[in-house]
Amino acid sequence: MDRIEAVTDIIGALDDDLPIVHANGMISRESFSVKDRKANFYMIGSMGLTMSIGLGAALARPDKKVAVLDGDGNVLMNMGTLAQIGALAPANLYHICLDNQTYASTGDQPTISGAVALERIAAAAGYTRAWKVTERAALVPALHEMFASDGPAFLLVKVAPGNLPGVARIPYPPEEIRDNFSAAMKV
């Protein structure tokens, strides 16, 4: 499946008011092109910190579900945070990782995720559930299953390398992104 197909299905399956912390680069941009949700946090820099931002939000509001839409490059950059999430075990955190085995935003240079089973690392770190999907037909059922149970859960979504051409950058100033996400976290 292409990443844009996965992003389309994920955004379609999740509630519009669910806060989602997005990885930087093409993941944020493709998600924005699918649907610009007010509850989206578009991380435009600070690669490696998608999980930490989501975890901080989840710990601050344990009564509220928080999702992280991550990429393999981000997870590999700060893999210790998988251990941190497993150890703290926030029941309200849902971690989806789009794995195309490349740094797509910088020109499709390969990552090492083809040789590393990130979902098995998440399981070993203590996520309550960690598994992967490779077929598009399995994605939406997996998401429903994921959000029906307590977290922290990790879903690895294997997608093809490559980017949707002509996808715009996030047009909002960072402070506006912050305010939208903060408002979604206040509900």
Partner 1 sequence: MIPENEFIAGLKEKGFDFFTGVPCSLLHGLVMGLEEDKSAGYVAAIKEDAAAGLACGASMAGRKSMVLMQNSGLGYSLNAFTSLHMIYKTPCLILMSWRGYEGKDAPEHIIMGQINDKLLDTVGIPWRELTEATWRDDLAWAEETMAKEQVPVTLLVRKGVFRGPH
User: Strand 20-22 relative to strand 40-42: parallel, antiparallel, unpaired?
Assistant: parallel
* C-alpha atoms less than 13 angstroms from C-alpha of 6 in its C-beta half-sphere: 31
Whichever of 167 and 185 has its CB closer to partner 1, that residue is: 185
Largest distance between two CA atoms of the chain: 41
| Residue 154 Cβ vs partner 1, minimum distance, rounded to whole Å | 17
Tokens representing 29?
């941009």
CA–CA separation, 89 vs 100, rounded Å? 27
Least separation in angstroms between CB 135 and partner 1: 32
Q: Is the Cβ of residue 45 or residue 166 nearer to partner 1 in the bound state?
A: 45
Sites of contact with partner 1 (CB under 8 A):
21, 41, 43-46, 48-49, 51-61, 78, 80-81, 83-84, 88, 174-175, 177-178, 181-182, 185-186
Q: How far apart are CA 94 and CA 61, in angstroms?
A: 14
The enclosing H or E element of 69 equals strand 66-71
Least distance to partner 1, CB of residue 179, Å: 9
Judged by beta carbon, residue 61 or residue 120, the one nearer partner 1 is 61
Q: Smaller CB distance to partner 1: residue 45 or 165?
A: 45
